[in-house]
Amino acid sequence: MIAGIVDSIELVKSDISDNNLLEFRIDLNSELISKISEAPQDQVILTYRSIDEGGRGEESDRYKILSELSRIPTGFIDLEISRDAKFLAEKMYEIVQPNIILSSHQYLKPMRETYLKFKESIKTFILNVLGEEDENKQLPQLIKSIEKTLHKKIIIKFVGDPIDTVDYLKTYDIMSKHFERIICLGLNNFAHIGRTANRKLNQYLIFASLNQSQRFPSVTELNNLVELNGAFTGLIGDPIEHSLSPLIHNQLFESLNLSGYYHLLKVNSSEDLGYLINKLQLLDFTGTNVTIPYKEDIIQHIDSLYKEAEELMSVNTIKFEKRRIKGYNTDCSGFSTFLRSHGLEKSQTALVYGAGGASKAVIYSLLKENIEVTLVNRSLERAETLKETFKGKIMVSSKEQSQKQSYDLFVNCTPLGRTGDISAIPEFGTFNSAMIDLSYSTKKTGTVKLAEKLNLQSFDGKEMLFHQAVDSFEIWFDKEVDREPLLDKFLKEVSQ
């Protein structure tokens, strides 16, 4: 079930299906109490969220307002474990709702540790309500006892602030072993999987906005995922909070009239990659992208590598195919498509600055176009190592040596100048055609500004990002995308 959040009078008569609910947030708007009768009452949750747990409910009014709400014949009432034991103990036989949600919203990290403390507080809460002192009773036994006493269903709700997607999923795993009916949600955008995959996770219910929201998937989006058998994709990496990939992939889903959701799957440690990949398989993900710092670490969890991924030992795209996991590298094809779309594949020479993971795909693509590559890096040792990867087909130069040379292209594969500072870009030789920055921002990067100053063609990393994303999408869904109108739309949207 999905509960749409009602926080204004205008939303009271929202059209919902028989399987959905409405949560009336009385703490956000007290006038909603008089409008409850206008909604299908058995599908209504009444909530008076306290200030400590993210709401606006005043503590001084809490007992009085909960007493009033408990007498309104709706389907559910929400009570907070941290403060409502006394109310439930005194009013247990007056509450008319057949379902009680015992909730807790905790903002300390990591989520798993906070949950374990929350679990103990539930035990204390139930013992206090029942007036018992037997602390040896297990939680399932206690839940059955309080349900029998109250003649009501108990749903346990825990909302936390996970440090990454794995922290959320492992919290859910633990919680699902302790309770039969659970709601386990994360507050940030890399825990959206708890909402989108709510049925596959067997959540009792989850909460969503009745309007389009930037923070969480809406009721309409979640219903569409279920009704249209929506596809799950996403991005694995860290940091990923400001990635533009969701914007591109959502446009792709829309353009091809496909139902799907692109998740941000933050992973803090490479040790958790195996767990996450296994979990995504169980949740029927179609595929994921992989970004820094896991393009190499992810390989040990993949069954087979395709062409460029195997040659570079770098994966940015995963496809789940039945019981097998395939790895691809669309950074290479994305950069090649970008070069060809601007006629830059005809260049003769290129200076690549930076020997990190991003430069691998760039050099691979340049060599494929028969462009002579010179690599400059602060660490010559690392540059020589990368040269060995390409079997000596590139030249390694110092910054001082490069200043005496002329090149057609400059490709910045470092984060230097990302914030727009031209002085962050070292002085190299002269350039004849274009300067390309793999970094991108809503503003011009230092490389782009320098190119404009030198009257050269200038590009940041948005177009390469777009093309590698489309290549991934085509691999996952075996569909060809008409790129030009979508690229124009994407570039226009990110420039605003």
Helices (H) and strands (E) in the chain, counts: 17, 20
Q: Which helix (H) or strand (E) holds 491?
A: helix 483-495
Average pLDDT over residues 109-115: 94
Mean pLDDT within 316-324: 94
Q: Using one digit for the tens of pLDDT, what is the confidence trace for 299-311?
A: 999 999 999 999 9
pLDDT at 214 over 70: no
pLDDT computed for residue 130 by the predictor: 86
Query: Mean pLDDT across the stretch 443-449?
Result: 94
Across residues 272-301, what is the average pLDDT?
96
How far are the Cα atoms of 17, 111, 272, 316, 326 from residue 323, in angstroms, in the given order? Answer: 35, 31, 20, 20, 10
Does the pLDDT of residue 404 top 70, yes or no?
yes
Mean pLDDT of the chain: 94
Residue 248, helix vs strand vs coil: helix
Q: Please, which pLDDT band fits residue 135 given cuts at 50, 70 and 90?
A: confident
Calpha distance 147→160 (Å, rounded): 25
Q: What is the mean pLDDT of residues 99-125?
A: 93
The span from the CA of 279 to the CA of 41, in Å, is: 37
Average pLDDT score over residue span 283-296: 96
Q: Which residues are catalytic?
A: 295
Strand partners, 99: 76, 153
Pairing of strands 317-321, 324-328: antiparallel
pTM of the model: 0.93
Task: Please state, in angstroms and rounded to a whole number, the distance separating the CA atoms of residues 108 and 114.
Answer: 6
Task: Give the pair of three-digit tokens for residue 59.
Answer: 């503590």
Could you give the CA distance from residue 126 to residue 118 in angstroms, rounded to a whole number? Answer: 12
What domains can be seen in the chain, in order of their start residue?
Answer: 2-227 (3.20.20.70), 233-328+474-495 (3.40.50.10860), 333-460 (3.40.50.720)
Mean pLDDT calculated for residue range 400-407: 94
d(CA 298, CA 52): 40
Q: What is the pLDDT of residue 442?
A: 82
Residue 14's pLDDT is 81
- Which of the pair, 459 or 135, is modelled with greater confidence? 459
Average of per-residue pLDDT across 468-481: 97
CA distance 196 to 231: 10
Question: What is the Cα–Cα distance from 449 to 459, expressed in whole angstroms?
Answer: 10
For the stretch 136-169, pLDDT in tens is 778 888 999 999 999 999 999 999 999 999 999 9
pLDDT surpassing 70 at residue 275? yes
The mean pLDDT of 430-457, rounded to a whole number, is 94
